[in-house]
Structure 1
Amino acid sequence: MPKTDRLFRLLHLIRGLRPPVTAAQLAATMEVSERTIYRDIDSLRAAGARIEGEAGLGYTMTEDLALPPQTFTQIELEALTLGLADVNQRGDADLAQAANDALVKILATLPERLQWQAMHAVNLVHRFNTPEKPTIDMTLLRESMWAEEALDIGYRDLNGAQTQRRIYPLALSYHDQNVMLLAWCCKRENFRIFHVTRIDGYCRTGENFRPRRVTLLRDFIKLLHARGGATETGPS
């Protein structure tokens, strides 16, 4: 791992782990030697991070110059923690980890009083039923949408028929029991909604459909509102 990436990772761990965090904990998590941890902490301190502590006692972040201070009202903190907790329960593994990491960064920017409020929020999330976990790599699917790149997918429709088609992936829609992919189907030249769990596989094509995504997604959402909601658009 390049040193710059390692320093960012170390900074994130010191923010997120319960203080004081020892060099042994950090070394085990990052799979490096404790000597490397000591050198990297010296580098972070030299860059302006206020990290209190020393070898044998553990370390605590007292002032994080890498992040600007933030101020939220208590209800805003409740909304943030509630939303991120819901993502943690409903999202795939990478999305759930991203929610946890985002909360750590938010907490690191708060004064101690607001950190306490956020960590003891009164609104909690528990879902007895969560969407079925997809078998495809959701991170790569999101990356193709960010890049506005067409995909070739294999898909099983509601009747079990297997099809191959090229799509322009537009957005993911999280429902109570399903995650749906909103897309433009090049085969049918129309909008389609696909159950993510019925996508058997996909490959990126290198075909870029920028700048059509914004317009297509806006038109699709208008169509969905006119229909009264998003459901799978059939086997065709």
Structure 2
Amino acid sequence: MRRADRLFQIVQLIRGRRLTTADYLAQRLEVSMRTVYRDIAALGQQGVPIEGEAGVGYRMRAGFDLPPLMFSKQEAQALVATVRMAESRLDAALAREAENALSKILAVLPLDARAAAESLALYAPLPALDPATSAHLTAMREATEARRKLKMGYLDLGGVRSDRIVRPLACLFWGPVWTLAAWCELRNDFRSFRVDRVETLEVLEEGFRDEPGKTLADMNRRREAQESGGA
């Protein structure tokens, strides 16, 4: 990799994370830590506002931006492939935004890169989510971001119906199905719900805040502990 390309990659990696260590940069770029330190110093001399220090980590000062990115043919094809594979798996609203974002990127690419991307012979012809599941997934995703509780009627795989008030924590895709990871107030515990088993859904005005023992991180730690204990 040319040094100019490596410097550009360092800027991109630091911009994409809250705090980036030299060790992380060295592993991603396959160079030594000493090279990373030299490159960081060079970027600072060129006026790139990188804050931080060796042994702690680096971040980009707020407000810094770069000119529009130029993608190689292979990178453009990777973007097209990613959107094509994701569209049928996303809810309708997010799928439209993915297509819009891709269109904006393709519009500013050089003609050869755009032609290579648009002619990519790779497709993911899976059936789209049914309208009810898609609508529920959109509502769950937005409620998760807004930190608002959900009221839902749920039919489990055993045919048992129940009404739940939950704190949505994350939407997870498991191949053929989406699930909602949540804190269930009925069970006073973490639960996962298949989105396609939700019969009714209402986003409540009542919000929620993270509480110890009821967060997604807590749920993940419990799962990891159970898996390690089972091994």
TM over 0.5: yes
The equivalent residue for 2:152 is 153
Structure 2 gaps of 5+ residues are: 1-66
Q: Alpha carbons of 1:169 and 1:107: their partners in 2 closer, same or farther (altered >3 Å)?
A: same
Out of 123, 126, 136, the position equivalent to 1:125 is 123
Q: CA deviation at 1:179?
A: 1.1
Q: Distance in 1 between matches of 2:173 and 2:125?
A: 14
The equivalent residue for 1:25 is none
The equivalent residue for 1:198 is 197
Q: CA deviation at 1:133?
A: 2.5
1:146-174, Cα deviation, whole Å (9 max, x unpaired)? 10111111101111111111101111111
Give yes or no for contact 1:134–1:196 (8 Å, CA) kept in 2: no
Q: Could you tell me which amino acid in structure 2 is paired with residue 113 of structure 1?
A: D
Query: Between the two proteins, what is the percent identity of the paired residues?
Result: 34
Kindly report which structure 2 residues correspond to 1:39-58, keeping only aligned pairs within 5 A, or say none.
Answer: none
Q: Could you tell me which amino acid in structure 2 is paired with residue 125 of structure 1?
A: Y
The equivalent residue for 2:220 is 221
SS at match of 2:193: strand
The equivalent residue for 1:14 is none
Are 1:82 and 2:81 counterparts? yes
The equivalent residue for 1:135 is 132
Q: Distance in 2 between matches of 1:78 and 1:191?
A: 40
TM-score, with length taken from structure 2: 0.60
Give yes or no for contact 2:140–2:171 (8 Å, CA) kept in 1: no
Q: CA deviation at 1:106?
A: 1.3
Kindly report which structure 2 residues correspond to 1:72-111, keeping only aligned pairs within 5 A, or say none.
Answer: 72-111=71-110
Q: Distance in 1 between matches of 2:196 and 2:76?
A: 33
Q: Alpha carbons of 1:223 and 1:132: their partners in 2 closer, same or farther (altered >3 Å)?
A: farther
Q: CA deviation at 1:219?
A: 2.5
Q: Distance in 2 between matches of 1:74 and 1:224?
A: 41
The equivalent residue for 1:171 is 170
Q: Distance in 1 between matches of 2:198 and 2:125?
A: 25
Give yes or no for contact 1:131–1:176 (8 Å, CA) kept in 2: no
Structure 1 gaps of 5+ residues are: 1-67, 229-236
Q: Distance in 2 between matches of 1:180 and 1:173?
A: 5
Give yes or no for contact 2:181–2:190 (8 Å, CA) kept in 1: yes
- Aligned residues, how many? 160
TM-score, with length taken from structure 1: 0.59
SS at match of 2:132: coil
Q: Distance in 2 between matches of 1:91 and 1:140?
A: 12
Q: Alpha carbons of 1:71 and 1:222: their partners in 2 closer, same or farther (altered >3 Å)?
A: farther
SS at match of 1:164: strand
Deviates more, 1:105-114 or 1:179-188: 105-114
Q: Alpha carbons of 1:101 and 1:204: their partners in 2 closer, same or farther (altered >3 Å)?
A: same
Give yes or no for contact 1:131–1:175 (8 Å, CA) kept in 2: no
Superposition CA RMSD, Å: 2.8
The equivalent residue for 2:8 is none
Q: Could you tell me which amino acid in structure 2 is paired with residue 139 of structure 1?
A: T
Q: Could you tell me which amino acid in structure 1 is paired with residue 108 of structure 2?
A: T
Give yes or no for contact 1:168–1:209 (8 Å, CA) kept in 2: yes
The equivalent residue for 1:12 is none
Give yes or no for contact 2:83–2:98 (8 Å, CA) kept in 1: yes
Q: CA deviation at 1:109?
A: 2.8
Q: Alpha carbons of 1:95 and 1:74: their partners in 2 closer, same or farther (altered >3 Å)?
A: same
